[in-house]
Amino acid sequence: MNPWNRFWNWYENKILGSVVLIAIIQFIQVPHMIWNADIMLEAGIVSRIHPVIDWFLYGVDLIEIVSIINVGMIMYSLIKKRRAEKYQSKVIEK
């Protein structure tokens, strides 16, 4: 089995972990959205209190990259699996 297929077999076995990772990243977005709304409203209740807090809450946007890549990999994996199942069912019918 080539490395590409070996990787996707491994990934398909770990898909639940991928979904959990996506959920964690989405939950981290909640304080970020509150902070962002505070900046937009210029209330200063959450934002601009400390530069380190602002840096971490701004940096949450970069974590979304992992989530976007992970969702793409899950979609590819599911499509690949569905196509393989269709192909196998056609072979069995013949």
Q: What are the tens digits of pLDDT across the range 5-22? A: 899 888 888 888 888 888
CA 23 to chain CA centroid, nearest Å = 8
Under-70 pLDDT residues of the chain: 94
> Length of the chain, please?
94
- CA 69 to CA 62: how far, in whole Å? 12
Half-sphere exposure of 37 (CA within 13 A, CB side): 6
Q: Is 0.85 topped by the overall pTM?
A: no
